[in-house]
Amino acid sequence: MTNPPPIDPFYVQPDDHLDEMQERLKQALEFTDDEFERLSPEVRNLFAARRHLGHRWLDDYQVVVEVTSNGGGCKCGVKPGQKIVFDMRHKVVPALTDAPVCVHLLSPILSIFYMTFDRAAEGLNPMTCVWRYHECPHTGPDEGKSKARCQVHLRRADTHEPVTERILPKAVS
């Protein structure tokens, strides 16, 4: 007698419509019923992982872009120590942001946002050593000496404490 293969807890059955999280996801992603129904199996699997991880990472964490230097000549006016704070839905949190929102400085941050959903949904910290430092791509005639540079980190939304663990802690129910 052979044992059946183990069941993958992250596999979404074709008839799984993510009922218990559907309304919250539609609101967070601004999806209509029709758009939600058209989600690919891969995206459904990604969201289904939340069911098994036991934490609400979309609400529990924020991405912080902190200016570390500006070379003295940044035309956008960002200064060292200023921050731009994003929620995990990649929206700026104006009440917690004190830096000018500069598209030049933020354009390299897009790579983090591409990884955030994938890694965080799997319970991993999206800010690994690869994704922590960025600089403005706007070089100018001074060969980049006046570029703004920043450090990016993940923090808890409730306490604003940096999250340094590679695996995100599960929220306590």
- 39-70 tens-digit pLDDT: 887 777 777 766 655 556 778 889 999 999 98
Mean pLDDT score of the chain: 79
pTM (two decimals): 0.67
Separation between Cα atoms, residue 135 and residue 106, nearest integer Å = 9
- Residue 139 phi, psi dihedral angles, 5° rounding: -80, -50
**H or E element at residue 63:** strand 61-69
Q: What are phi and psi of 79, to 5 degrees?
A: -125, 150
Q: Which residue has the higher pLDDT, 95 or 11?
A: 95
User: Given this model, what pLDDT does residue 55 score?
Assistant: 52
DSSP assignment letter at 40: -
The tokens for 162 are 């940096």
Average pLDDT over residues 155-162: 92
For 71, 77, 106, the CA distances from 141, given in Å and listed in that order, are: 13, 17, 21
Give the rounded distance of the alpha carbon of 61 from its chain centre.
Answer: 8
Query: Above pLDDT 70, what percent of the chain?
Result: 77
Determine the Cα–Cα distance for residues 25 and 28; give it in Å rounded to an integer: 5
pLDDT tens-place string over residues 89-132: 888 999 999 999 888 888 888 777 777 767 776 777 777 666 78
152 with 65: CB under 8 angstroms? yes
What is the structure's pLDDT at 172? 47
Q: Does residue 7 have a pLDDT over 80?
A: no
Q: What is the mean pLDDT of residues 136-143?
A: 81
